[in-house]
Amino acid sequence: MPVLTTGRLMLREMTGSDLDDMAALLGDEQVMRYYPRPKTRDEARAWIEWNQRLYREHGFGLWAVLLRETGEFAGDCGLTLQHVDGADEVEVGYHIRAGLQGNGYATEAAAAARDYARDVLGLHRLIAIINPANVPSQRVAAKIGLAPEKHAAVFDAEQVIYAGRL
């Protein structure tokens, strides 16, 4: 059941049957190159369970991203609650499979998540927490209307906080 649909993508809630795809995505060294390390299969399972809790508790989380034309798993994208500099914020996050990067899927999915935050959740602000070296992710954030606001220690490392009014 899709949560969001775009021209080329469908975003839906993750289920336990997504474990193989999520483990491959989050375990990929290229996809996770700006993280401390790739995630294990057990960590991918915990990632799915965390998002399922977010769906139940908040009505949103990161969703599985599928190509509409083929149903192929492309990655994940959505909204999560984060704590930054003493404030609770809603973050847009995205991971696209290495072989599908460079096709605009992250931007398309992130724009849909941004619109969902504004139109469905009634939010007025959105952030993205990005490793300072992750230029491709910074470009996605800029394309959906976010701009660098500050640097902050998040996830035990210095990150750039992109933010924007919705």
Say whether pLDDT at 1 is over 90: no
Name the token pair of 50: 């965390």
What is the tally of structural domains in the chain?
1
pTM: 0.96
CA distance 52 to 57: 9
Predicted confidence (pLDDT) per residue in 27-46, tens digit: 999 999 999 999 999 999 99
Contact (Cβ atoms closer than 8 angstroms) between residue 32 and residue 24: no
CA distance 40 to 54: 21
Say whether pLDDT at 147 is over 90: yes
Average pLDDT of 112-116? 98
Q: How far apart, in Å, are the Cα atoms of 16 and each of 64, 68, 116?
A: 11, 20, 24
Length of the chain, please? 166
Average pLDDT of 78-107? 97
* Spatial CA neighbour of 152 closest among 53, 82, 96: 82
Q: Residues of the chain with pLDDT > 70: what percent?
A: 100
Predicted confidence (pLDDT) per residue in 41-70, tens digit: 999 999 999 999 999 999 999 999 999 999
**CA 68, 131, 161, 42: dihedral to nearest 10 degrees?**
60
Runs of H (alpha helix) within the chain: 19-26, 41-58, 105-119, 135-143
Q: What is the pLDDT of residue 14?
A: 98
Could you tell me the CATH number of the domain that includes residue 6?
Answer: 3.40.630.30
Q: Where in the sequence is the domain holding 134, given as residue range(s)?
A: 2-165
Task: Give the pLDDT band (50/70/90) at residue 155.
Answer: confident
